[in-house]
Amino acid sequence: MNKLPKLGLPVVVITLVSIIFISKSSVNIGYGEAGVVWERFGGGTVTDEAPLGEGFHIIAPWNRVYIYNIKQQEEFESGMRVLSSNGLEISLDVSVLYQPKLDELGLLHKTKGENYLSIVIAPEIRAVARSVIGRYTPEQLYSTKRDAIQNEIYEETKLKVEGQHVQLNSVLVRDVTLPISIKEAIQRKLTQEQEALEYEFRLEKARQEAEKVRIDAEGKAAANRILAASLTPNILKDKGIEATIKLAESPNSKVIVVGSGKDGLPLILGNQ
């Protein structure tokens, strides 16, 4: 009876040690994740080997694994205060789509750490947004330059984070909020510009119609001049004779007196 407790205690101890050893030595990495190994006796963060992929892994119990989300993620910067080219304060909402570079995950962990978003992405996007917005007027921000601004912020931020083991996929300008007074002034200006364009269109249309009438009138005048120049007395007499012949052939009752009309043309008298 005294031997059982003596045998049971080592078994319990060994079991507990085994459980602790297994729990410290195993790591499970979920989908869209990767693990960076930190070796206590091997030089710290492993940067010259591929990160651990998805699934179950066994590591030495004295090492650690830091798990990173390697899927595309979104950082939303809301209400950033920036100044336009003429010094007006503007509120900007921007979304950044990013993800860590898988083959550089060890370097990212070693140089930036798990909080790399607030160290790399957020500061750079704010700095670049202020720089880009400062090149434009409120009118440009409100109307025609939204896509250009978005592209400039993306390209410049991408260059700044490219060497910091992070991949920038896209920058989206969600909203540009101007002061109410400035927004109303811009809307009035745009309305006036549209009215001016419409008025100019009407004037141009009227000018075109007037030009068309002038060209038609000139054509008719030229035709009349040509016709008048071609109507000689002999041609007129010939035309008169042709008309008289046609009238003579008409079934209507009439009397034809030859040579009694002006210029010797037949004079036609009838009961009409």
Distance CA 256, CA 271 (A): 12
CB atoms within 10 A of CB 59: 17
Q: Is the per-residue pLDDT at 251 higher than 70?
A: no
Which comes out higher in pLDDT, residue 8 or 210?
A: 210
Residue pair 99/70 in contact (Cβ under 8 Å)? The answer is yes
Q: 67-83 as b/e, with b when 16 or more CB fall inside 10 Å?
A: bbebeeeeeebeeeebe
| Nearest Cα to Cα of residue 68 among 97, 32, 40, 38 | 32
Say which amino acid occupies 157.
T
Segment 47-101, tens digit of pLDDT: 888 899 999 888 888 889 999 999 999 988 888 888 888 777 888 889 999 999 9
To the nearest whole number, what is the mean pLDDT of the chain?
78
Strands 166-177 and 26-29, sheet pairing? unpaired
Q: For tokens 């978005």, name the residue.
A: 150
pTM given for the model: 0.60
Segment 163-192, tens digit of pLDDT: 899 999 999 888 877 766 665 666 666 666
Distance CA 190, CA 184 (A): 10
- Output the CATH code of domain 73-178: 3.30.479.30
Contacts of 232 (CB under 8 A, 6+ apart): none
Packing angle, helices 122-133 and 146-161, rounded to 10: 140
- Domain ranges for the chain, please list them: 10-69, 73-178, 180-230, 233-270
Distance CA 43, CA 46 (A): 8
